[in-house]
Amino acid sequence: MKRIALLGCGSMGTQIALAIESGTFPATLTHVYDASKDASASLVQKLTNKPEIVENPHLLSSQPIDIVVEAASQDAVKDVALSVLQNKKDLMIMSVGALLDESIYDILSDACKDFKKTIYLPSGAIAGLDGIKSVKDELESLSITTSKHPRSLKGAKFFETSNINLDEINSATTIFEGTAKAAVSLFPANINVAALLSLIGLGSAKTNVKIVADPNTDKNTHHIEATGKFGKMTFTIENIPDVNNPKTSRLAILSAIQTLKTYCSNDIQIGT
């Protein structure tokens, strides 16, 4: 039975907690933390087996647990990830965009080796990562176009300096084109898929991202194109947004749950 601690008690964290409590894989949620005390209290109230609410995020990995699951933010990863590994606990990261900071990536990579622990990165709201990984040495171009309803993009850092008014968009409109590194910085809660894709493939400076605001869609759609000496790959994933948080796709939650299930079980693993 694996013991899990949860960092982040919002919509995604709640769904992960409920999946753990369902008993479909051998695990128990023992400790939780959220910057909002109301969020952590609300989550615990939903559970029959009550995990302990810790007073600060660094206390999560000091507990007798096996893995910390991050479902909070890029800032949370930057603040807590190293201490988790130093406390010799595994870590699952949902806010993958934090790893596009090269200094953070290098520090955490070294810590995994030094403390013999593992960071798990679920596939999130996209698919085809095994294929991209297999042709990495022959990749010449890699791009992702993400289309979402404008309400799913509200609150992004991008709009602090942009003149675009999401409420005035009445047809599919490209609001951003650039590198994955820039996209993840400007849309930290919306485009972690671009970070994951770039880590698997050509890196954040060579992965192209386009973000489209489409008021006529009810899905979060990701279209990936990869070309190189191997040929060409294209993937289109049409995700249903989570009912409680339209910024997050249902598939991202399911991928997190499946990653945990594999971690906790002795299932045969297909692919990497």
* pLDDT digits 0-9 by tens, 131-185: 999 999 999 999 999 999 999 999 999 999 999 999 999 999 999 999 999 999 9
**How many other C-beta atoms lie within 10 A of the C-beta of residue 265?**
14
Mean pLDDT of 63-67: 96
Question: What's the mean pLDDT when you consider all of the chain?
Answer: 94
| CATH class name, domain 2-124+251-264 | alpha beta
Per-residue confidence (pLDDT) for residue 81, from 0 to 100: 98
Per-residue confidence (pLDDT) for residue 269, from 0 to 100: 54
Confidence (pTM): 0.91
Per-residue confidence (pLDDT) for residue 247, from 0 to 100: 80
Q: Do the annotations mark residue 76 as ligand-binding?
A: no
pLDDT tens-digit profile of 229-256?
Answer: 999 999 999 999 888 888 888 999 999 9
List all residues 6 or more positions away from 243 whose beta carbon is below 8 Å from its beta carbon: none
Q: Do the annotations mark residue 192 as ligand-binding?
A: yes
Confirm whether 149 is a catalytic residue: no
- Is the pLDDT assigned to residue 267 strictly greater than 90? no
Fold adopted by 129-243: Dihydrodipicolinate Reductase; domain 2 (3.30.360)
pLDDT tens-digit profile of 36-58?
Answer: 999 999 999 999 999 999 999 99
Give residue limits of the domains in the chain.
2-124+251-264, 129-243
Per-residue confidence (pLDDT) for residue 272, from 0 to 100: 44
Reported as a pLDDT band with limits 50, 70 and 90, residue 12 is very high
Which candidate in 31, 58, 222, 223 is catalytic?
A: 222
Q: What is the DSSP string of the chain?
A: -EEEEEE--SHHHHHHHHHHHTTSSSEEEEEEE-SSHHHHHHHHHH-SS-PEEPSSGGGTTTSS-SEEEE-S-HHHHHHHHHHHHHTT-EEEES-GGGGGSHHHHHHHHHHHHHHT--EE---TT---HHHHHHTGGGEEEEEEEEEE-GGGTTT-GGGGS----GGG--S-EEEEEEEHHHHHHHSTTT-HHHHHHHHHTT-TTTEEEEEEE-TT-SSEEEEEEEEETTEEEEEEEEEPBPSS-TTSBHHHHHHHHHHHHHHHS-PPPP--
